[in-house]
Amino acid sequence: MVYSMRIAGVYETTNEQGIPVVEGSNIPAQQSTAVVGEDGSTSTVVVHFYSTAGSDGLNTAPTTAPGSPNASAVPVSGNGATTAVAGVTSGSPSGTNNGAANTQSAVTQSGAASSSPATVSAYEADYYNTPYDDLVALGFLGRVKAYDWHLELIGLGLIGVLVLLFLFGSQQNQSTVNTWIKGVRPVLDENFYQVGVKEDQLLIKDTPQTFTTYASGRVNISGLLINFGLVSRQNYFMYIFESIASNFFESIKPQEDIVEVKIKPFPNEKINNFIFGIVNKNDMGATRNDNYYLSLTKTTESASLPQEFVFMSESTELNERLFTEELKEVLNKSGKILKYLAISDLPSVRPVSEDEFKSSPHLILKLSLKTDKQSLETSKNLIDQLIKLTDTINKFQLKHDSLKKINGVRTNEVNKIKKAIEEQKAEDLKEQKLEEERENRRNLAKLSPEEQDKLEKKQREKRERRARNRQKQRM
């Protein structure tokens, strides 16, 4: 039976005859030793000397000094079988059992030479154990070939996978938007002179998940803007994380493909200021929170509406006069894609000044971006109804009582803004006075006792004069 073992701590070189030997000696780099077991059987131990570089590429301290290696294989009694144990000794060349305690080798019973777990790759051994001068002599290409690039190649592979995922996700979003635009393009071409941001450019890609397009050239409409917000398919890790986290945290919303169509009419003094909306019940709370103007409306359910929707408007007159049979027919098929349809003269974000409160009328349609045939047909019809509503509000006039009530709501909102601004100014003035008092106290602490008395006397006289003046005014 043949046992194979490898011993660390020495370096292999060749002698004058070209035979591999242990560096600094004339001991062959591979030796065979016959070992007789307790049962009389004979086994052969083949010893291979190798360098001290470990599997992690770091040099370890040699077990024996170069030039004086020794290996001994001794029989160990057990269950009748003979086991060869390799040891590296640092003592006499007789190779006694004392070296077994410092064993850094592995003995296998495979019948052929095998590597120990500590064996390093040939590239690592060649590179890290080669003297600096020899590395320089190898040249650039030689060093590249000698170095072990496994980790670098794994890293490049991971980067390549991420890049491919990014490109694939970006292309998927682009394809989704193109399919949706193609589906609704007929109604845009029918109503507008130009569709696209330029004559030769239909879309603007703001980011891999946001796109914009534009249409212009129609009576009563200054412009139609379409904004797309899609799932971050270019970043699958974030998409998966947010999808999971949204089930546990209300603050994290699940991602969804959304398209928002906004129409801005031409300035017209005849257009009344009002808020009218048809909102999907499933998104009613989020829609009200996201749009300041809807917080000023009253929610009303109606038998004329499909059961998935409610009115959010400032007057029941708006519900009766703006909601048509044609719009109702489209809404019957819109339960899965329509988030809300709204007409407003106020901004979506809560204003903090009178200038921000002023806003021109605009119409908004928010949809789930779906590209199946039925959803595309429904989206096209909803855009058509939004365009027709633009024509309607240019001729539409509210009754005096409704208009008075709506204007009263706006007056109250303006007064709230003014009050908030005044309260903020008062708070700032109070803070300024406190800072001035703190500064006066710091300056007073720097004065001498005589100067402090003079300053306090002046302040006391000033307060007394103010008190006398107030008394005179009362008289």
| Residue carrying structure tokens 């003297």 | 131
User: Is the pLDDT at 55 greater than 60, yes or no?
Assistant: no
Residue 182 in tokens: 């193609």
CA dist., res. 134 & res. 148, Å (int): 17
Mean pLDDT of 269-274: 88
H helices of 234-365, in order, are 236-245, 284-290, 316-322, 325-331, 354-357
Sorted by sequence, the CB contacts under 8 Å of residue 34 that are 6+ apart come out as 42, 43, 44, 45
Q: Which residue has the higher pLDDT, 123 or 176?
A: 176
Range with top average pLDDT, 112-121, 238-247, 273-282, 447-456: 273-282
pLDDT tens, residue by residue, 359-372: 789 999 999 999 99
Range with top average pLDDT, 52-61, 67-76, 261-270: 261-270
Angle between the N-to-C axes of helices 150-191 and 373-395, in degrees from 0 to 180, rounded to the nearest 10: 50
User: Is the pLDDT at 202 greater than 80, yes or no?
Assistant: yes
Name the average pLDDT for the chain: 78
User: Is the pLDDT at 114 greater than 60, yes or no?
Assistant: no
User: Is the pLDDT at 81 greater than 80, yes or no?
Assistant: no
How many C-beta atoms lie closer than 10 Å to residue 148's C-beta? 17
| Residue carrying structure tokens 């290696």 | 69
Q: Which long-range contacts (CB under 8 A, 24 or more apart) does 82-87 make?
A: 82/1, 82/35, 82/37, 82/38, 82/39, 82/41, 82/43, 83/107, 84/3, 84/5, 84/35, 84/43, 84/45, 86/5, 86/7, 86/45, 86/47
Q: Which residue has the higher pLDDT, 341 or 355?
A: 341
- Angle (CA) 386 206 169, round 5°: 100
Cβ 290 vs Cβ 350: under 8 Å: no
Is the entire prediction scored with pTM above 0.85? no
Q: Which of 119, 63, 114, 53 is nearest to 87 (CA)?
A: 63
Q: Which residue has the higher pLDDT, 312 or 5?
A: 312
